[in-house]
Structures are given as C-alpha cells and as structure tokens.
Structure 1
Amino acid sequence: MMNKANFFICMLLLASRGLALADSKADSKPNIIVIMADDLGYGDLACYGSTTHLTPNIDKLAKQGIQFMDFHSNGVVCSPTRASLLTGKYPQTTGISGVITAKDHRDVGLDLKELLISELLKKQDYRTGIVGKWHLGYDTTYSPVNQGFDIFRGFTSGNVDYLTHYDQENYFDWWLNTEKMDEKGYSTDLITHHSLDFIRENKDHPFFLYVAHEAPHGPYQIRDSRPERTGDPSYKPEPISDKKKVYGEMIRIMDEGIGKIIESLEQHGLAENTLVLFLSDNGANQTGSNSPYKGYKGQVWEGGHRIPAIAYWKGVIQSQMSQELLLTMDIYPTLAALTNTKIPKEVKLEGRDFSSVLRGKTNIFKPRPVFWAYSNAAAIREGKWKLVRVKNQYQLFDLSIDPSEKNNLFDKFPKESKKLSEQLATWEKEKSAIPMKS
C-alpha cells in the first residue's frame, strides 16, 4: 500500500508532467482561430450576464478558458477594429480611422504596404484563410488574397442581406477569392460551413483561420426571414415585428456554429494544438446590450469599446478570469510570440504581447495610456483613470469605483485631468497627420 509520502511524490510528478505537457503544446506551432462577432455587446452573452440570450457554446469556452473582463476594441465601429487586429496598430496609424462605407469609399482600402498578421504567419508556412466579413476594401486590389490569405470566402462590405448577399447599396457581395460567387444560404451558416471545410482541408498543416461573422449586425434576419435587399432599389422589405427577438436568435445561430467549430477540432484531434480567440469588433447598438456599461457602438464610452473576449486552448490555457487591460491590436504581437515568429524591425507595432497572460501569469503589465477616437469624440485610459472628450467637453472617471462612467471628476482631480488631456492632445495631433488611405 502506498504511504502518504509516496502519494504526494506521485502527485507532484504527475503535476510536473502535466505542466511540461502544457508547455510543450504551447511551444509547438499551434493552429490559430480568431472568431470575431459583429456589433456584439458586452452584455449580449450569458457568460457576461445576459439573461435573454442562450449562448452555451461560447459560455463553455469562457468557462474552460480565459474570460477577459477588461478587453477593448480599438475602434468603436467596424473597419478600424479589423485594421487593428490585422496590423497590430491603432487604426488611426493605418489610415483606417472610420467606416469604409459601401456608398462613398469603394476605392479605399487597407494600405498594401502594411504587413498583416496573415502575411507574417504565411511566411512561417501557415495556411491562412478568412471566412466572412472583410470590410477593409471593396476593390479586388485590397482583397484578402492580396494581403496574406490563401483563401477568402465571404463579403467585403459592412454587411449584406443574410439571404441574398446584397450590400447596403444593392451591390451583390459574396466572393470566392477575387471572383463573385452566387452561393445560396444564410450567411452565418455559410461562414460556419466554410470554416469547417478550411479546418478539414488543413488539419495536417499549421493554419490561421479568421472567422469574421456578420452576426448580430443588421439587417436583422434569421433563416426563415424574407430578404431585405434583392438588388432592386424599388423592392420594399417587410417590417420586423420583434427586432430584439430576431437579434437574440441571430446570436444563438452564431453560437451554434461556434460549437460546430470546436467539435470539428475535437474530431480531427486538433483541440490541444489550437488557440481559439473569440471577441467582438465593438460594442452593440441599441438593439443589443452593453450592460453594465454606458454608451453604444460609435461612442467612446465604455459600452462602445469594452467587448466580450475569450481565449480557449484545450490543455494549455487554464480556466480563469483576466482583469488585464487589453485591446484588439494586442492580438498581433501575441500570435507572433506564440508562433515564435520574428517581427521585422521596420514593422512598428503598437500592440502589447499578452502571451504570458495565456500561460496563466497575472498583474504583469505596467499601466499604459490607450486611446480611442471617432467623429467628434475621443478618450484616453491609463490605469484606473479614463478621460472622455465629447464636443470639446471633458469628463474624468475613476473606473475602479465607477465603471459605468456616471460621476465626472474632472474638476476634483485637476492634476490627473491635465495630464490625460495633454496626452490625448499629443496623440490626436500625431494621428491627425495620417489621412484615410486610398
């Protein structure tokens, strides 16, 4: 019979073996899947407090991985955040400071001189794919396949009709690489379907898959909805009787698809060598929920940019909640670190590598100033302090005791107000010299 001393020695050996196994997995060449929801609010998932939306698959990822509580999008609208994800920089640095609209920006796109994470990983012999929403250039000059992705299936605009795939200006917008492809189906289901195909086709090779969901961005449609756009400008869609109910079902269908992606990783024996990151591109509009935070999409209040974000890696990432202040642009240097990929000296990233957080370390970063700007508003956050400027009116908040930004402390803390105001002004002056790239 084993005595207590021998028992504890065995337990220590097993624990050490487990840690060594986790480290070996984390040090190998992992597959990477980044799943980005569109306009999903902080309060739209059950794991973040929603009592109206059922999201069992995303909740499971949060429970078994890292649930980030202080993660932020770089933009408060679609295109800027996507530029930050792929470049590791502030969107203003890339020249994508606002929405690349279907109406007015059809010749505008992400500068081809930028070294995207897809291009960086492709040089490391990764297979790269994007399925879903691009929104970083309509012209095929800016196609994802010209910027490091081996394959692109999806749409280039801010949103398409989920059933007919026409964009806001009634352009048909569904692509296979640089060719339009008339593919029938509900866009969320198609995004899931093609994601599963990509995983299956590349299961024997390191891969980077960017799953850019349209849901739950409008138009608000589910599988049996009628089209809202047909290509005919005179077409009149039927009004939606219960927009919030449809919105919830759109989230449920996306969650269903994410469950299939995780199931596919298990089936192919890839779960223990695949990092899955889930996040939103910005806060929700008023159809969704950013509870308990103030503001909506398009605003620099917390509700406009504090987003749900989850990291899952079976057998490597331990279940935890993280309070680290992180942004979308931090994903680029993190993926480079995890894949042992050297970033060229001429590429000046502005994001922060948080791979150590994925390995279980906490409270490792010194506070840094981070910024948001859109339209006539801007904000800076450093540590617990956040300064917001809207129409030249300044407000200061202590987020450690007032995360909902209710109590303006601008006059009560003049030293902090002055410091942050000056930092914000310096940053805006620097970024204002960078025009929208075209």
Structure 2
Amino acid sequence: MSNFDFDLFVIGGGSGGVRAARIAAGHGAKVALAEEYRMGGTCVIRGCVPKKLMVYASGYPEAVREAQAYGWDATIGAFDWEVFHRKLEAELDRLEGLYRKGQEGAGVTLHDCRATVAGPHEVRLADGRIVSAKHILVAVGGKPFVPEFEGCEHVLTSNDMFKFKTLPKTMLIVGGGYIACEFACILNGLGVEVSLLNRSALLRGFDAESRDVIVGQMERAGVRIRTGHVIDRVTCKGTAFSVHIAGQTEETYDAVLYATGRVPLTEGLGLEEAGVKLGQRGEVLVDEWSQTNVPSIFAVGDVTDRIQLTPVAIREGHAFADTVFGANPRKMDHDLVASAVFTQPEFGTCGVTEEEAAGTGADIYTSSFRPMKSLFAGNDEKVFLKLVVDQKTQVVTGCHIVGPDAGEMIQMVAIAMKMGATKAQFDATCAVHPTMAEELVTMRSPTRSV
C-alpha cells in the first residue's frame, strides 16, 4: 500500500502534461493532474491550433486572386471576424473537451485549479489542500515576455490575439521571432494594416538566406518592416495607442502587439523552495531523463526551455511515463527536430543552418524558382530550397524550404535526415514531377562551400 495519495501528480494540462498523465495511468499508476486555465495548454487554446486556423483564413484573398488568373469568375467580400471567431471558439471548446475526456477515460483525477509544489512529494492546491505524490511532473509551459517600459500595460501579447471582439484596422507588432512574423502575415492577409518593428534582424537563429526570402515577400505583400528601433513608451489615447519610437516621432495604432519571446512559467510555483534548481530564464533544469536535481520531481515541455515545440513536449512526457512507470527506460532525442514557421510564404527547417555549418567543411546546394501554380497566375514570388551537406561524410545535415506547404515537405525530409541519408541517396531518389519537392533530389552541383 502506497504512503502517497498518488503515484504521479502532474502540474499543467498542456500537451506534455496530458500525455504523461494518460500514459502513466495506462501503466497502472494512480495519477492526478491540475490545470488552472483550460485543458489543452498553449498549443490548443492560445497557440498552434487557433493560429493555424487564422493562417488558413488569411490565405483566401490570395487564393481568389489566383483563381481569377486561372479563369474563374471569383470574388471575395469583406472578412467577418465575428463569424470566424464564433466558430474558432466552438472548435477550441470541442478540442478541450476531447482532452478532458481522454484524461477522465484513462482514470486521471482532474483538479481545475492552480497547483504549486509544496515539497519533494507534496503539491498545494489553490484551496489550500496538500496532496502527496511519489513523483511530481512539472509541465506548466511558458508565457509571453514583455519588457518593462512606460505604458507596457497597454500592449497585447500572443495570448490576446484570439480574443478580439473586432479586428483592429491598424496594428504595430514589436518583435522579430516566428510568432511576430506569423501574426504579421496573418493580420495583413485579413486586411489589417500591419507594421513590424524590431531592434535587430527578423527570424534570428534561422538560416539567413531563407529568412531574407521570407522578409522580402512579407514586405512585397504589404507588411511594413523596420529594424534597428526600440519602443520607449506607449500611451493610451481614447481607443487608440500612441507609440514613441526612441529617437523618432510618435505613431498611432489601434493595437500594439508585443511578440518578444516567451519565458518559462515558474514564478511562484514553489520549485526553488522545494530545492529544485532553475536556470537564468527561470527554466527548470533537468537531465536527459527530464529529472531535476530533486529525484522525485521531473519537468517536460517549454518549462524546461529545451526545444519549445508541442511534439517535443509530447515525446518528453511519453518518455518520462514509460521510464518511470512502464519499465521501459527511454529518452527524448532532441537531435534533428524539424519545425515549420507559418509565415506567408511558409518556412520548413531541419538541422543546421549555413551559418552553423560555416568552417566545418560543408557544401551548400540551393534552388530558387517560380513554382508552376503561381507562375501561371502571374505571381513573381519564388520558392527557395537549401541543403547543407557535410563534405566528409556526404550526410545531409540541414534542409531549409521556403514556399507553399513547406511544413508538409520538411516533415518528409526529416525522416530521411533522421536516418542519416546522404546526398547521393537523395540524388538516387527519382523525382516526382511536376512538384516543388522534386528540386530536393535534382540539385546536382553545390552553389558554394563553407
């Protein structure tokens, strides 16, 4: 008979937490989970899912323009945000219900409240109750970061982007990461006049040549992009916001979005008091088994600040449950994790960038062309593909794709890369014609070596 109330207590009902709870329960563990907001976490409620639906919505004006070029008598009227938003909320409610049903069906005890760590084997619920557990898993994710400045209370974050009653006519987006760029493209496609401002280059950390293609197309689509600037104050003026750019005059917008990164949501969680070590950004420090320095406390997902991607959190949670409760010790492999940025154009990436490969002895293969579909429609935008190949082993160590459905393509390429495919094996694969992806197996000569 266990001396604890539960074998596992999970704090956080996002992707990593619910997977760990369900799998652990399936292994016979007695499991509880606490979520203070909505089941599903950032991805389902205020991230990937609603964002991707907004991406789809924002692409229809361009689709109609293409249809006209193909001979269709097609027109598009005004975008009705209220209609879209009602359906979006209904879909999120449906998904949240599925997450809840999955936990309940697995036998997990749910607590719809905030929970904090009270000790190596204790969790404190919002009502003051203390629950004991042999193991505690922290899976609380992260939150948007907004720097301190005059008027910072007036700005929006990515959490607010799905709550508009009506869409603003003008918006300033501050930030240069993938979230800032995605929302700039989405809102521009929905008819909002968008300005994007950042202190440095956009999409830093991604392949530079690829990001230059994306930024160029964003500007041609109507997004006003400025770099090298900093906001020093925001003032509310009625229903509008006056933004003062350091060293420049003030500008007025209907809304200001700060997409300046995310930080782990560990503040006030009781971890340090329980002896758990945190990093400089507040991340929970864990080993390769997702275990903290306190043996009974583990952490997965964005709260560990390893790779902030939903599928990574899911795999980390699953590996934890199999290891601790399933007698099947295994670790999440964080190498060669593919990802997609849902800008317009879309960006798929896996492995090293050209900049990371510089000086290591790598061949760079590139291809840029106007795809058949948009070429016929009179669109001048190009697709861009890049392979990074290790000169010594000829293994493909990096792939970067800019163009329609790049996310779908990079998923398939990542399988080959994970298997250690060489450039010769890419070349030995017969092309599928006519497709954009066939260029991945027809680039014969390197563009340059680094």
TM-score for the superposition, normalised by structure 1: 0.32
Higher Rg: 2
Structure having the larger proportion of residues in strand: 2
TM-score (norm 2): 0.31
